[in-house]
Amino acid sequence: MNFIGIRFSSIKNEIENFLKTEYNKAGILFSSASPYGQILSVIENLHQLSFLYLKNTIVGLDVNQPGTTERMIKNAAIFAGHIPGRAISASGTLRFSLKTDIDFEKDIPGGKISFFNKLNIKNKTNSLDYSFNIGTEIATHRLNPNYQFFIPIIQGKWMTKSYTGEGIALQTISSNDSGQQDVENFNVQVIVNGNLWTIKKHIYEMIPEEQAVVVRTGFNGGVDIIFGNGGFGAIPPVGSTIQLLYLSSEGSLGNIFRRTRNDWNFVGSIFDGNGQIVDIDKIFNIDIYNDITFGADGESIEFTRTILPIVSNNFVLALPQQYAYEIKKLGVFSHVNAYEKSGTIFIAVVPNINLFKNQNSDYFTIDKSAFTLDTYEKSKIDNYLRTSGVIQLTRKYKIVNPKLSYYVMNVFVIPYSDVSDESINSQILDKVSNYFLSLSRINIIPKLDIIRQLSNIKDIHSVDIQFISKKNEDYHKSMILEMQNQLNMYAETGVTKQLPNYDSSTTLGLDPILGDIIFDPEEMPIIRGGWKNRDGTHYSSDIEGNGLKSVNIIKKGSIDPKNRPIK
């Protein structure tokens, strides 16, 4: 029998012919609008759909296929031992201060309030859920006039899903959130028959019959939960209740850059001394005390690709690159550089400014403090490192702010004559701003990178750029001054020796031939004026100013628009 010759459409035709004959016997006309005609066409479509589904699935097994999706690449990375980072919720602190115009006895009976951990609140401006993150199950505050207290909060809403123990070794559960939300990277809990089980990174970390479980980023998004086999971790009994509690996070959307007072709605309840629900908005002013930041989306595919070469599978923090890997995985830093000096690992990190900056500001207008970490942010990283891996004994590390190296940039451009200067300037500044906001280079910034970006502007005929390094200018300025002083001194004393060892061709912070930016591991280059060059010419930090500034766009004539390339 020739099976290749059997086609679904042929079978369908045969059935149709049969039905036509049968219908005709009853004196009725058969068409695709007839009940059986309709059923046939639906079945045919479903069959075709399932074949499309099968084809898609098979394509998914080969990451080199053109139709490869994000999920397939992530799955391949999981096979390679990498645990892709999920969304990280923004966190910060709220300050509750008692309003002065309240009737203390009437509004707060019992003079105290109590609330539970994970209490759900909603931000009025962005309509996202946030949860109390107080570290204890319940907190009580005894109030008095002018009383204030602080509550750490985290973006997201705690969700619970239930599963059943199957009583088998290495039971696994795959769970994910649908929609935009993702299971938060750190806030996951597994409760079996009411007991909280410890979360481990690998089954070999679990001791015999230990109430522990492995939680990893899932193949289909969300998380995969792997229970033990008795020897490594306990097996949940058959029929037991397994509860998965997780924070459903919106990632970077949860960052809040403003400090609006009383911007919160309480979804969960806070109780007074008599156990009655308190209207918290009425009695407290609520301010954002520490910025609600550090929220980041799940790992992007570009990020997975760049991080794969430094994947560390052993969860040990020993080498600088292992520290860099762990911190990069957080996804909230654009620049991470770890280096060893005198037995200590220095970790220079720069926050991903895109996540923290106001939407209206750009690279040239944000405050310089955005490039550095404050003590609170450093403590967050420190805490993360201590919980994410085993730090090698005797190993010391230090989280440092990178030294900012200042540069200004000259852009030489020949535009087409039918474009206004303002349009060209804003397009160039936009490209440069975007490039430096998502800077991924760690030791060199080739001019090519930026020229490539600027080449995408259609109104430009040709372009070149030049960097001027403050470090280089400072060096030459000080050496020229010192030379001058020495020469003046020698002219008086007649001694002609001991001129400083000055090489006028030295270029610090720049490639001497190509002019690319070169920087050390502890440095972070920024394009910002506010300093003078060796000749005393001042570069302003005001990007809107008229004189020389952070980015100087110099027009070298223009080209007739009829010379625009024709597609």
Partner 1 sequence: MLHEEREIPEIYYMKHRHDDDTEWTDYEKNMLDKMLSPYIYENDMMSKFLKKLQPLTGKLFDQMNIVKNFRNYIVDKYHYKHNR
Could you list the residues that contact partner 1 (CB under 8 A)?
A: 35, 38-39, 42-43, 46-47, 50, 53-54, 57-58, 60-61, 71, 75, 79, 161-164, 166-167, 172, 174-176, 178, 218-221, 224, 226, 238-239, 241-242
Q: Whose Cβ is closer to partner 1: residue 184's or residue 473's?
A: 184
Q: Whose Cβ is closer to partner 1: residue 43's or residue 207's?
A: 43
Q: Whose Cβ is closer to partner 1: residue 243's or residue 552's?
A: 243
Angstrom distances, CA of residue 93 to CA of 88, 153, 288, 290: 16, 6, 6, 5
What lies within 8 Å, CB to CB, of 270 at 6+ separation is 113, 114, 115, 119, 277, 278, 280
Alpha-carbon distance of 215 to 222, in angstroms, equals 10
Alpha-carbon distance of 303 to 324, in angstroms, equals 13
Write down the least CB distance from residue 203 to partner 1, Å.
13
Q: Whose Cβ is closer to partner 1: residue 57's or residue 342's?
A: 57
- Rounded to 5 degrees, φ, ψ at 179 are 80, -155
Q: Whose Cβ is closer to partner 1: residue 156's or residue 402's?
A: 156
Q: Whose Cβ is closer to partner 1: residue 181's or residue 405's?
A: 181
Write down the least CB distance from residue 172 to partner 1, Å.
5
Q: Whose Cβ is closer to partner 1: residue 224's or residue 523's?
A: 224
- DSSP code of residue 367: -
Write down the least CB distance from residue 247 to partner 1, Å.
17
Write down the least CB distance from residue 214 to partner 1, Å.
11
Write down the least CB distance from residue 518 to partner 1, Å.
44
Write down the least CB distance from residue 269 to partner 1, Å.
24
Q: Whose Cβ is closer to partner 1: residue 50's or residue 125's?
A: 50
Angstrom distances, CA of residue 143 to CA of 97, 152, 284: 10, 19, 11
Cβ of 27: how many Cβ atoms within 10 Å? 6
Alpha-carbon distance of 268 to 369, in angstroms, equals 36
Write down the least CB distance from residue 47 to partner 1, Å.
6
Q: Whose Cβ is closer to partner 1: residue 59's or residue 253's?
A: 59
Q: Whose Cβ is closer to partner 1: residue 250's or residue 523's?
A: 250
Report whether 390 contacts 532 (CB < 8 A): no
DSSP class per residue in 308-363 = GGG---S-EE-SHHHHHHHHHTT--EEEEEEEEETTEEEEEEEE-HHHHS-TT--T
Q: Name the token pair of 440.
A: 């991924």
Write down the least CB distance from residue 167 to partner 1, Å.
8
- The answer for 385, left when phi > 0, alpha when psi is -120 to 50, beta otherwise, is alpha
Write down the least CB distance from residue 54 to partner 1, Å.
5
Write down the least CB distance from residue 180 to partner 1, Å.
12
What lies within 8 Å, CB to CB, of 42 at 6+ separation is none
Write down the least CB distance from residue 168 to partner 1, Å.
9
Q: Whose Cβ is closer to partner 1: residue 178's or residue 360's?
A: 178
Write down the least CB distance from residue 267 to partner 1, Å.
21
Write down the least CB distance from residue 31 to partner 1, Å.
14
Alpha-carbon distance of 507 to 519, in angstroms, equals 12
92: amino acid identity, one letter: G
Q: Hey, is 505 helix, strand or coil?
A: coil
Report whether 405 contacts 524 (CB < 8 A): yes
Alpha-carbon distance of 444 to 271, in angstroms, equals 57
CA angle 46, 47, 50 (to 5 degrees): 85
Among 298, 292, 151, 287, which residue's Cα sits nearest to residue 222? 298
256: amino acid identity, one letter: I
Q: Whose Cβ is closer to partner 1: residue 1's or residue 33's?
A: 33
Cβ of 215: how many Cβ atoms within 10 Å? 22
What lies within 8 Å, CB to CB, of 305 at 6+ separation is 73
Q: Whose Cβ is closer to partner 1: residue 39's or residue 495's?
A: 39
Report whether 206 contacts 228 (CB < 8 A): yes
